[in-house]
């Protein structure tokens, strides 16, 4: 085990001069495999048809108002079948939809 001490910027304000970390030199990082990479990707996908407003708001370019518009649209029109269908919702255009590619599922 190795100790690593780093100076802390602005330490005079807090009275802390350094932070010490212990690092286990023997540990090895787990190499990514196809299966665990796919698992991580699946965890990041948001289902547009089942997600609540909070979950939808985690998507790039989707805030609270767009999330609520998605929910209202799917309540009135049924399940959303594709990204292109989001064009039907006010505030969505090609650029905002492009940000969602690879991040959503239906």
Residue with tokens 């909070």: 54
Q: Classify residue 93: in a domain, yes or no.
A: yes
Residue 57 lies in a domain: yes
Range of the domain at 90: 34-105
In a domain, 13, yes or no: no
Residue 61 lies in a domain: yes
Q: What is the CATH number of the domain that holds 81?
A: 1.10.150.320
* 75, part of any domain: yes
Number of domains in the chain: 1
Q: Does residue 84 lie in a domain region?
A: yes
pLDDT of residue 38: 57
Cα–Cα dist 98/103, whole Å: 10
Q: How many CB atoms lie within 10 A of CB 68?
A: 13
Considering the entire predicted model, what is its pTM?
0.60
- pLDDT tens string, the chain, 106 residues long: the values are 555 555 655 544 444 555 555 555 554 556 667 666 555 545 579 999 999 999 999 999 999 999 999 999 999 999 999 999 999 999 999 999 999 999 999 9
């Amino acid at each position: 085990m190795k100790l690593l001490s780093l100076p802390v910027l602005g330490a005079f304000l807090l009275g802390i001069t350094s932070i010490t970390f212990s690092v286990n030199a023997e540990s090895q990082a787990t190499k990514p495999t196809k299966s665990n990479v796919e698992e991580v990707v699946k965890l990041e996908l948001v289902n547009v048809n089942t997600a609540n407003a909070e979950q939808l708001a985690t998507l790039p370019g989707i805030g609270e108002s767009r999330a609520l518009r998605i929910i209202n649209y799917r309540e009135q029109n049924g399940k959303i079948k594709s990204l292109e269908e989001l064009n039907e919702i006010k505030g969505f255009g090609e650029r905002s939809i492009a940000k969602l590619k690879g991040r959503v599922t239906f």
